[in-house]
Amino acid sequence: MLAYLDTAIGFVIVMLAISLLITILTQMVSALVNHRGSNLHWGLKVLFANIDRDAFPQLTAQAADVSRQVLTHCLVSDSWFSGNRAAHWFAAEIPLLRMLFDRFQLASAIRPGELTDILDRIASALPAAPPPPAPVPPAAQLRLDIRNLLATSAGRLESWFGSMMDRVSQKFATYMRLWTVAFACTFALVTGLNTLNLAGEIYRNGLLRDALVGASQQVTAAATTVLDPQNSLAAKYSAALQDAVKGVTPPLPQPPPPITTTAAGIEWIEGHVPEAQRAAVRNAFNTAANAAADKYLQDGKDTAGKLVGITSQAGIQILKFHWPPGFTQQPWRAEIKYLIGVFLTAALLSLGAPFWFNALKSLANLRPILASKQQAEQEQAGRG
């Protein structure tokens, strides 16, 4: 009976190790293509487009452009590409880079107060409406729409903003889930890892099974690190901000809040740190935040390498090409059977690292109980 449980534990360890690799890759890709910024852009565009079509017609018509102006403004965008002349030159000279750079410029977070302030700045930069009866051009009408929105519906705007941010968070979580499924399917199809063959190999090979069970603590430790919210990039930014304000005198009346981007940290510093100490605190925060981002990426690569090494030492090459030689020359029944195992691998990996992490903890807690029971039965049988 213990052999069956150890087989299950070994199988779960392999699934967890691969799922953690997918999680790390998903986090890196999300940062690379700025999913948070693009989802926030979508949320503001929907908000402006539907806030009141009759009262603010030009704002509704230019919702996408206004949303982009807000999120690429230098006061909220935390991107190196925002306002960078070299990046704009490359984007102008190489059209293929323009779309990518435009996406990178989007801020990944914004607060209600920042939104109203940036909207006011955008309106101030637009031309004023000419005196009647001259027709009002679109740019001047947009200025009037934004001014009227801030004057008559500022409170409602903040309420709608909060509701929209909830939808943005849900959309971001959905995107992350889709990336996980996509990477799971890609991994299964590229490597050809067959769940049925893997489970059978672990069950038949006692040495492999024992080695995988022995690696459970190492894989669990890696999973704890990868899945811990305190190890996220946002948590590291928050810690950098807290460290940066420790030397402020007199001490600030309230501690810094959790932040998700460097722009949010700078905004908080500008609003709470005394002017005489602001530059030093800002520089300290920027230095710490940049170091934290570099370390976050390096830690992700190190953890991925460690997971590959742990499973390799146990006897499973998770990145190995598992497709059997001459696969397409096999009888069609054998091909279908193998493909079923590969598709099953993709489906199981799509469950995500948290699922396999919880499964491993449950099985690991059950193992001592079953081992003690089996030992007692063997001792009783020996006395009999």
| 22 vs 26: CA distance, rounded Å | 6
pLDDT band of residue 80 (cuts 50, 70, 90) is: very low
Please compute the mean of the pLDDT values over residues 139-167 and round it to a whole number: 79
Tally the residues of the chain: 384
Asked if 102 and 87 count as a contact pair (C-beta separation under 8 A), the reply is no
pLDDT score, position 172: 66
pLDDT band of residue 33 (cuts 50, 70, 90) is: low
Mean pLDDT of the residues in the chain: 82
Does the pLDDT of residue 76 top 50, yes or no?
yes
In order of 79, 83, 101, the CA distances from 89 in angstroms are 16, 11, 11
Strands (E), 18-143: none
Asked if 81 and 97 count as a contact pair (C-beta separation under 8 A), the reply is no
Asked if 112 and 14 count as a contact pair (C-beta separation under 8 A), the reply is no
pLDDT score, position 220: 93
pLDDT score, position 22: 93
Q: What is the tens place of the pLDDT at every residue in 341-380?
A: 999 999 999 999 999 999 999 998 888 888 788 777 777 7
Tokens matching residue 331: 């009888």
| 242 vs 244: CA distance, rounded Å | 5
Tokens matching residue 261: 């981007």
| 60 vs 365: CA distance, rounded Å | 57
Does the pLDDT of residue 205 top 90, yes or no?
yes
Does the pLDDT of residue 47 top 70, yes or no?
yes
In sequence order, the 6+-apart residues with CB closer than 8 A to the CB of 46 are 63, 164, 167
One-character DSSP codes across 120-140: HHHHHHSPPPPPTTSPPPHHH
Tokens 């020359």: give the residue: 329
The SS3 of residue 70 is helix
Query: Which of the residue ranges 11-15, 203-207, 230-234, 321-325 would you say has the lowest mean pLDDT?
Result: 230-234
**Burial of residue 251 (number of CB atoms within 10 Å: 0-12, 13-18, 19+):** exposed
Q: What is the tens place of the pLDDT at every residue in 132-149?
A: 777 888 888 999 888 888
Asked if 354 and 16 count as a contact pair (C-beta separation under 8 A), the reply is no
Does the pLDDT of residue 61 top 80, yes or no?
yes
pTM over 0.75: no
Please compute the mean of the pLDDT values over residues 300-319 and round it to a whole number: 91
pLDDT score, position 10: 94
| 205 vs 213: CA distance, rounded Å | 12
pLDDT score, position 186: 94
pLDDT score, position 373: 82
Looking at residue 321, its amino acid is F
Does the pLDDT of residue 131 top 70, yes or no?
yes
| 351 vs 270: CA distance, rounded Å | 43
pLDDT band of residue 288 (cuts 50, 70, 90) is: confident
pLDDT score, position 81: 46
Asked if 108 and 40 count as a contact pair (C-beta separation under 8 A), the reply is yes
Asked if 82 and 72 count as a contact pair (C-beta separation under 8 A), the reply is yes
Asked if 268 and 254 count as a contact pair (C-beta separation under 8 A), the reply is no
Residue % of the chain over a pLDDT of 90? 26
Does the pLDDT of residue 251 top 90, yes or no?
no
pLDDT score, position 207: 92
| 18 vs 301: CA distance, rounded Å | 14
Q: Is the peptide bond before 137 cis (omega within 30 degrees of 0)?
A: no
Please compute the mean of the pLDDT values over residues 224-249 and round it to a whole number: 85
| 104 vs 34: CA distance, rounded Å | 6
**Residue burial 337-351, b: 16+ Cβ < 10 Å; e: rest:** ebeebbebbbebbbe
Query: Which of the residue ranges 135-149, 153-167, 210-224 would you say has the lowest mean pLDDT?
Result: 153-167
| 18 vs 186: CA distance, rounded Å | 12
First to last CA, the chain: 21
